[in-house]
């Protein structure tokens, strides 16, 4: 599992960690039941504050992507969350904003859809690769 963090980014570090782990789960670099590094070791590896890693893990736990056991540490949830209304809401809101800007800039529907197709496909390909 590789974390490609950009400490200069406007995106908070904890959010980047969340995104990276969800990406890892999507591409099955991280398989359900698989343990994640401890808060302590991960923060040391990346060279960031423990609180930051902890915050990321808490968010992933609340969303149902990981389980946190006091003893066994953190692992990918064996029962990943489904397509919940709150996710659909966020998805819709984000897609709406992206699509609106795309339309303004003259990006065709085909080009936009192809982008989505390609990104989806690439992640599915990585699952087998």
**3-class DSSP state of 73:** strand
Which two three-digit tokens encode residue 112? 């936009």
Does 50 sit near a copy of itself (CB under 8 A)?
A: no
Question: What is the spatial distance between Cα 49 and Cα 123, in angstroms, rounded to a whole number?
Answer: 30
Q: Is 33 left (phi over 0), alpha (psi -120 to 50) or beta?
A: left
Binding letters toward DNA, positions 79-98, x by CB under 7 A: --------------------
| Site map 17..56 versus DNA, x via CB under 7 A | ---------------------xxxx------xxxxx-xx-
Beta carbon of residue 54, minimum distance to DNA (angstroms, whole number): 6
Lookup: tokens for 123: 């992640």
Name the binder of 22 from DNA, a copy of itself, none, CB < 5-8 A by kind.
a copy of itself
Query: How far apart, in whole angstroms, are the C-alpha atoms of residue 128 and residue 4?
Result: 21
CB of 80 to a copy of itself, least distance (A): 5
Query: Token digits for 71?
Result: 């003893």
User: Mask 75-114, x = binds a copy of itself (CB under 8 A)?
Assistant: -----xxxxx--x---xx-xxxxxxxxxxxxxx-x--xx-
Q: Closest distance between DNA and the C-beta of residue 6, in Å?
A: 10
Q: What SS3 state is found at 69?
A: strand
Q: CA triplet 85, 32, 113: central angle to 5 degrees?
A: 50
Q: Catalog residues that contact DNA under the rule CB under 7 A.
A: 7, 12-15, 38-41, 48-52, 54-55, 57-58, 68-74
């Amino acid at each position: 599992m590789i974390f490609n963090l950009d400490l200069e980014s406007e995106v908070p570090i904890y959010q980047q960690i969340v995104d990276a782990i969800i990406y890892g789960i999507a591409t099955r670099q991280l398989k359900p039941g698989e343990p994640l590094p401890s808060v302590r070791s991960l923060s040391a590896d990346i060279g960031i504050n423990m609180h930051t890693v902890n915050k990321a893990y808490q968010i992933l736990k609340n969303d149902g992507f990981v389980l946190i056991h006091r003893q066994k540490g953190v692992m990918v949830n064996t029962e990943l969350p489904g397509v919940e209304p709150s996710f659909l809401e966020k998805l819709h809101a984000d897609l709406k904003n992206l699509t609106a800007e795309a339309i303004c800039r003259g990006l065709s529907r085909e080009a936009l859809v192809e982008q989505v197709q390609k990104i989806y496909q690439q992640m599915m390909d990585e699952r087998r690769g």
